[in-house]
């Protein structure tokens, strides 16, 4: 409450640089400015939302499903479904939104959208505290009209990305306030620690904020005599004061992140698995990607997943409007920056706190295992806070020299943001790619109507289609995972009841349908086909062949294969063993089985075991029959589709009319620079009665 009172007394305890003081958080003119900025920000973000018809993606749908489950009274999840990081704060708030407004994509997006609007006054207060009202106003205006990446992510409920930016900004603000007070004012480190603790649970990107706050706060704590109203004898023990401050902040941090700590203590700290540092060579690659790809995308010079500039001259504009002004701030503040090395901090204008924060963002991103994500750098969203504040600082210094020049500078930056967002068209995010460049449909209405009309409530489909469909139907329709990405977020969806997975209706994009269609007969299945917008629905699936038994491995007389590994590992009845080439895949590698005379075979089954990534990239299976003739049991095209069908099921099955086979030849026709070709377990199918 004391920290809140300090905010309400205009936060600084000193007159701002323009020379006027306030006893309220905002003056009337500031309130008007912030209302205008928030209104503009809301309209801009709504325009982007409406441009994509309010569509959400599968990852957002999972947050919505979490919110639905919370509202239904299920156990509150600690983390995003299916992983041990990214806390459930966003889902908790979404459940409240659903309770008040009903469950829909818009009421889900309302959560991050609200946080993105709250960010604007926080950035204003931060800029005002570290430098001036003018600095805060410019930073807030740039937050309201930012580059397209921040506009898009202002409404993406992806597990706490925008929320951690707000939490981190609040922590920076309270830290800057603390620097204007005696260090032993424990309410400040207590508040900072608690907010950072909550942020640590919500999204570990809070580490970007923690490092600069810790470094500058160390200087604030020990870099000058501690001011205190306590008796001199007690106040003279500086080490004890320092320890008290550290312990207060640490205790608050642990309390703020208590869901994180309790979960990890109970489950053996699985969250620690996400923390890994890049090797030096990889770190250098990440830095290059950061400099040439991620940062240009972040400021709007490029768009996510695109190599070309957003518009002609965009890179030059980015250097002129971001790099040069921030470099100038660095030169102007050089004396204060160097003073950090001797334990001195400019507590009145702690701009170096913000500069260190920007450096922290870039270094941690490049050092982390997520540094390869430069084509869509959502893990760098917190950097916007630092960039906008530093541009505000540049504006302040420029305004002291020329108000006209400073206004032209801000107008140029905002124009750059608008152009990068709208030229030649809105920089909206495309729907996720399902297969071969084809994307999830923006409108699932026709698909839902078709499924309802056919009485279908369980399907097999892609991650991006399935989770979104489950959310949009309020889980009236759920799905079993088909192909990649094969991250199972809600395990109970994999239960298809009495219907085997291979008989579930398939919802496919057209490129998927084109490879699966010819493979269905080889899988021993018939189906009906319905075209629904961008999708193809395979339904009314039936088996063409009766169930038959697995033949004993004794029907295999001999086996030969390339490589040093024993071919018997592929049919020893143990899925944890395998045969493999022991070297990278190249076309022409063979695996050959000789079959005992008089054996009738009507199918074969391959289990992927632990080596799903080591499947043949392309494969043909040929059989030599008792009369010496040969027949193709599986062509490369059919293999492509049947392998795709079996990806999420851990294996595939090929069916055909009973044949007296003397040998089976598996030929790899693909290549891979690193992976070998492996078979974990191969089973031959037939009617045991035929072999007596």
Q: How far apart are CA 91 and CA 119, in angstroms?
A: 19
User: How would you class 448 by CB atoms within 10 Å of its CB: exposed for 0-12, middle for 13-18, buried for 19 or more?
Assistant: middle
Strands of 506-509's sheet in order across: 478-481, 458-461, 506-509, 535-543, 525-532
SS3 for 316-366 is: HHHHHHHHHHHHHHHHHCHHHHHHHHHCCCCCCCCHHHHHHHHHHHHHHHH
What are the tens digits of pLDDT across the range 612-634? 889 999 999 999 999 999 999 99
**Short-list 157, 156, 170, 158, CA closest to 198:** 170
**CA 453 → CA 304, 372, 450, 476, distances in Å?**
38, 45, 5, 13
pLDDT of residue 285: 93
User: How would you class 688 by CB atoms within 10 Å of its CB: exposed for 0-12, middle for 13-18, buried for 19 or more?
Assistant: exposed
Start-to-end CA span in the chain (Å): 85
Sign of the Cα torsion 254, 257, 259, 265 reads: negative
pLDDT of residue 12: 41
pLDDT of residue 377: 83
Contacts of 245 (CB under 8 A, 6+ apart): 183, 184, 186, 189, 221
Within its chain, how far is the Cα of 617 from the centroid? 28
What are the tens digits of pLDDT across the range 433-457? 999 999 999 999 999 999 999 999 9
Residue 440 is given by DSSP the state -
Residue 437 is given by DSSP the state T
Contacts of 514 (CB under 8 A, 6+ apart): none
**Short-list 474, 482, 467, 431, CA closest to 452:** 474
pLDDT of residue 563: 80
Q: Do 575 and 607 touch, CB atoms closer than 8 A?
A: yes
pLDDT of residue 640: 95
Contacts of 301 (CB under 8 A, 6+ apart): 309, 310, 314, 315, 317, 318, 420
Q: Do 435 and 483 touch, CB atoms closer than 8 A?
A: yes
Contacts of 5 (CB under 8 A, 6+ apart): none
* Domain annotation for the chain: domains and CATH numbers: 2-422 (no CATH), 433-543 (no CATH), 549-691 (2.60.120.260)
Contacts of 650 (CB under 8 A, 6+ apart): 607, 608, 609, 612
pLDDT of residue 278: 85
**Short-list 357, 510, 363, CA closest to 439:** 510
Task: Give strand ranges (E) for 518-586.
Answer: 525-532, 535-543, 549-550, 556-561, 579-580
Sign of the Cα torsion 110, 115, 120, 121 reads: positive
Q: Which stretches in the chain have pLDDT values below 50?
A: 10-23, 225-235, 690-692
**Short-list 327, 468, 385, CA closest to 175:** 385
Q: How far apart are CA 455 and CA 436, in angstroms?
A: 30
């Amino acid at each position: 409450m004391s920290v809140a009172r300090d905010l309400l007394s205009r936060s600084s305890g000193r007159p701002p640089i323009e020379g006027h003081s306030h006893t309220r958080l905002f003056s009337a003119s500031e309130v008007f400015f912030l209302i205008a900025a928030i209104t503009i920000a809301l309209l801009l973000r709504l325009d982007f939302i409406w441009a994509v018809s309010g569509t959400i993606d599968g990852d957002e749908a999972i947050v919505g499903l979490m919110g639905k489950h919370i509202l239904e009274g299920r156990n509150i999840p600690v983390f995003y479904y299916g992983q041990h990081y990214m806390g459930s704060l966003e889902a908790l708030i979404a459940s409240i939104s659903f309770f008040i407004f009903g469950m829909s994509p818009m009421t889900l997006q309302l959560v991050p959208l609200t946080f993105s609007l709250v960010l604007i006054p926080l950035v204003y207060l931060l800029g005002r505290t570290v430098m001036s009202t003018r600095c805060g106003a410019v930073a807030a205006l740039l937050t309201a009209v930012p580059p397209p990446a921040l506009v898009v992510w202002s409404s993406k409920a992806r597990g706490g990305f925008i929320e951690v930016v707000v939490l981190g900004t609040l922590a920076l603000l309270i830290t800057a306030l603390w620097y204007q007070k005696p260090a032993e004012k424990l309410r400040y480190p207590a508040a900072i620690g608690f907010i950072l603790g909550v942020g640590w649970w919500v999204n570990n990107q809070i580490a970007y904020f923690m490092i600069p706050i810790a470094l500058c706060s160390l200087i604030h704590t020990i870099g000058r005599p501690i001011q205190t109203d306590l008796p001199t004898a007690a106040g003279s023990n500086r080490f004890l004061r320092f320890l008290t401050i550290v312990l207060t902040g640490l205790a608050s941090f642990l309390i703020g992140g208590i869901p994180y700590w309790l979960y990890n203590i109970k489950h053996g700290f699985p969250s620690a698995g996400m923390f890994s540092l890049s090797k030096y060579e990889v770190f250098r690659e990440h830095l290059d990607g950061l400099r040439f790809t991620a940062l240009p995308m972040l400021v709007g010079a490029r768009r996510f997943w695109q190599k070309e500039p957003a518009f002609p001259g965009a890179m030059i504009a980015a250097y002129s409007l971001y790099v040069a002004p921030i470099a100038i701030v660095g030169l102007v503040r050089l004396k204060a920056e160097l003073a950090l090395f001797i334990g001195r901090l400019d507590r009145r204008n702690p701009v170096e706190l913000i500069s260190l924060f920007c450096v922290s963002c870039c270094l941690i991103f490049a050092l982390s295992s997520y540094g390869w994500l430069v084509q869509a750098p959502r893990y760098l969203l917190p950097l916007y806070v630092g960039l906008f504040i530093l541009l505000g600082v540049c504006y302040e210094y420029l305004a002291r020299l020329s108000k006209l020049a400073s206004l032209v500078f801000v107008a140029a930056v905002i124009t750059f943001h608008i152009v990068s967002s709208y030229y030649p068209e809105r920089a909206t995010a495309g729907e996720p790619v399902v297969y071969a460049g084809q994307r999830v449909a923006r409108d699932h209405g026709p698909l839902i109507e078709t499924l309802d009309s056919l009485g279908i409530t369980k399907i097999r489909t892609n991650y991006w289609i399935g989770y979104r469909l489950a959310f949009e139907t309020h889980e009236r329709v759920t799905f079993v995972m088909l192909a990649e990405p094969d991250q199972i977020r809600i395990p109970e969806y994999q239960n298809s009841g009495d219907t085997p997975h291979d008989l579930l209706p398939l919802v496919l994009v057209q490129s998927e349908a084109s490879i699966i269609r010819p493979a269905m007969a080889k899988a021993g299945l018939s189906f009906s086909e319905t075209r629904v917008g961008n999708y193809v629905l395979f339904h009314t699936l039936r088996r063409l062949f009766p169930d038959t038994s697995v033949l004993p491995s004794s029907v295999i007389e001999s086996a030969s294969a390339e490589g040093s590994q024993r071919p018997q590992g592929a049919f020893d009845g143990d899925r944890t063993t395998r045969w493999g080439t022991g070297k990278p895949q190249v076309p022409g590698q063979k695996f050959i089985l000789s079959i005992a005379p008089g054996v009738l075979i009507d199918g074969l089954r391959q289990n992927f075991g632990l080596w799903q990534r080591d499947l043949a990239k392309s494969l043909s299976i040929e059989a030599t029959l008792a009369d010496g003739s040969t027949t193709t049991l599986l062509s490369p095209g059919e293999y492509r589709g049947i392998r795709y069908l079996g990806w999420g099921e851990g294996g595939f099955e090929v069916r055909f009319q009973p044949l007296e086979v003397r040998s089976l030849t598996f030929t790899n026709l693909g290549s891979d620079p690193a992976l070998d070709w492996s078979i974990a377990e191969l089973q031959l199918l037939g009617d045991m009665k035929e072999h007596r």
